[in-house]
Amino acid sequence: MPSWQLYLFLIPATVYIIIFAYVPMAGVQIAFKNYNFNLGIWGSEWIGWDNFRRFFDSYQFTTLIWNTISLSVYSLLISFPLPILFALMLNSFTGQKFKKIVQSVSYMPHFISTVVIVGMLVQLFNPRTGAFGALYTFFSGELLADAFANPGAFQHLYVWSGIWQGIGWSSIIYIAALSSVDEHLHEAAQIDGASRLQRVRHIDFPSILPTATIMLILAVGNIMEVGFEKVFLMQNELNISKSEVISTYVYKVGLTIGSGDFSFATAIGLFNSLINFVLLIMVNYAAKKFSDTSLW
Amino acid sequence: MGQSKFSTHPTSDKVYYIISGFILTFILIAVSYPLIYVLSASFSSGNAVSSGRVLLWPVDFSLEGYEAVFKNKDIVRAYGNTFLYTILGTLVNVTVVMTCAYALSRPGLKGRGSFMFLFTFTMFFSGGLIPFYILMKDLHLINTMWAMVLPGALSVYNMIIARTFIQSSIPGELIEATSIDGCSDARFFFSFVLPLSKAVIAVITLFSAVGHWNAYFNALMYLNDRSLYPLQIILREILIMNQVDVSMIMDPELQVAKAQAAAVLKYSLIVVATVPILCVYPFIQKYFVKGVMIGSLKG
């Protein structure tokens, strides 16, 4: 019979989660209020759906939604399958030493901060002094166009630098799943004359499918959640038409000097997480129906 | 896996190995080239970097970038702040995660399911940016170092990894045997669970330390006192917003030299800001692959 001491162990985590997760959840009500600093969250006056209506009617609405969704979907389409392919390929390769090196090196960028990643992008793509600028000039004799001044380049820079940073790390979970594949399956298939590629397709790939399904559910359930940090850091006046997404807009409306419209910003944020939540439930339902793999 | 083994493969497999070897080599180069370049540039002269002469290895080896980094008072102070936030924050994280994971790993705990729900629900829904900001304000944490240490004290994901690890690696018989001998739950935690969970503690320590070292968002939101700034905020000013003060010098020749120094400073700064965390990781690499595996396969 467990003792009271175990409950003592639960105190720090429970207190933390109630204060830092549940109290802000209760604070969401200001989306339906006209938040007044002096009256506080509970004292401010209710105004119903006004903040939401204001957002739907605003001229940025379509652009924001489009930027957010297109960036997420583009990112998902690239960053979901590539780590799987990478893991399959790495797992099936024979040179153990080479495999280890590729694996260790590919993890490294995961540990680099977003600020440094964006800083490196800025430096490396500098037309004159950056490595890619210099290489471009070396091969073509022309000056590289400034990537950060071009709205059309924003999404590509965002997504592909994300691949550079994450491909190794995201593949760990699949490599782990692949390591539990029964060797006998491979041996039996080999005796039946299956080629390496066939074995990857018919043995390795199906064995990581459940893991991949879970990862896909989580990714789709996060589709409206484009990373604030990286977008914010990559943003400038020149690419803002493509780089303003809901999360950066919420920050600007709510917290930058001169605005401070807390209720309006919360309403936008709530609208965003609501779409996310609905997507998560829908995808989970579909996954359960079609493949028996689901989050709950 | 030598050459002799390779020649026994059927031709179709040889083609497969050659193609995948080629692709993996490409990935290896694509991932490592920017890293090598940054390192080389940081050890090159300002002139070589700003004229685009550095392509792979250092050109005109020099340490001027590093000298400039360590002469800059803002950087040095922010560096110290980051160290402090990382150590304190990681300590808090590991304590909260391990105590919670241990209690929830015990099958007999009443209300275990409710507690799990209470924690995991927060992974899918949160109040969002503004209510959190108001909370921080009401708690008077704005503009204090606790704004960098307390938010995120419990990572539910890490807690689940730790809980799964404890459940699967510490046999229930051990608890029964020791409790018959009069060992309390708290003593069991300190004398058995912690020593036996070294691998998962290493993983959580690494994850938290990386998170705190790289934390930028909390600083942007909750700090406006410059003396509290962590490294990442200063990095942004210098690397992205390009705020290296060169305009103070009127002499045009000196100004050119300063601009070149500023270019190398950026690369040296990237190295100085990244190396500490990259140094930790090879030591814990063997643990984290295991840790991620446990967390992902059975979580």
pLDDT above 50 (res B3):
no
> What is the reported pLDDT for A21?
93
Q: Distance between CA atoms of B159 and B231, rounded to whole angstroms?
A: 28
Residue B1 pLDDT class (50, 70, 90 cuts): very low
- 3-class secondary structure for A230-276? HHHHHCCCCCHHHHCCHHHHHHHHHHCCCCCCHHHHHHHHHHHHHHH
The verdict on a CB contact (< 8 Å) between A94 and B273 is no
Cross-chain CB nearest to A92 (options B20, B108, B122): B20
Q: Distance between CA atoms of A201 and A275, rounded to whole angstroms?
A: 35
Residues in chain B within 8 Å Cβ distance of A123? 38, 239, 266-267, 270
Q: What is the ipTM of this complex?
A: 0.86
Percentage of chain A exceeding pLDDT 70: 98
> What is the reported pLDDT for B2?
42
Percentage of chain A exceeding pLDDT 90: 31
- Mean pLDDT for the stretch of residues B85-112: 91
- Mean pLDDT for the stretch of residues A55-84: 92
C-alpha distance from B248 to closest chain A C-alpha (Å): 23
Residues 6+ apart with CB under 8 A from B162: B97, B98, B101, B197, B200, B201, B204
Q: Greater confidence, A210 or B24?
A: B24
pLDDT above 50 (res B298):
no
pLDDT above 90 (res B81):
yes
Residues in chain A within 8 Å Cβ distance of B210? 111
Cross-chain CB nearest to B135 (options A16, A23, A269): A23
pTM score over 0.95: no
Q: Greater confidence, A235 or A142?
A: A235
> What is the reported pLDDT for B243?
67
Residue B290 pLDDT class (50, 70, 90 cuts): low
Q: Does B55 touch chain A (CB under 8 A)?
A: yes
Residue A259 pLDDT class (50, 70, 90 cuts): low
pLDDT above 50 (res B71):
yes
Q: Does B112 touch chain A (CB under 8 A)?
A: no
Residues in chain A within 8 Å Cβ distance of B286? none
Residues in chain A within 8 Å Cβ distance of B103? 6-7, 9-10
> What is the reported pLDDT for B95?
95
- Mean pLDDT for the stretch of residues B127-133: 89
Cross-chain CB nearest to B239 (options A10, A122, A172): A122
Cross-chain CB nearest to B31 (options A30, A164, A247): A164
pLDDT averaged over chain B? 84
> What is the reported pLDDT for B36?
92
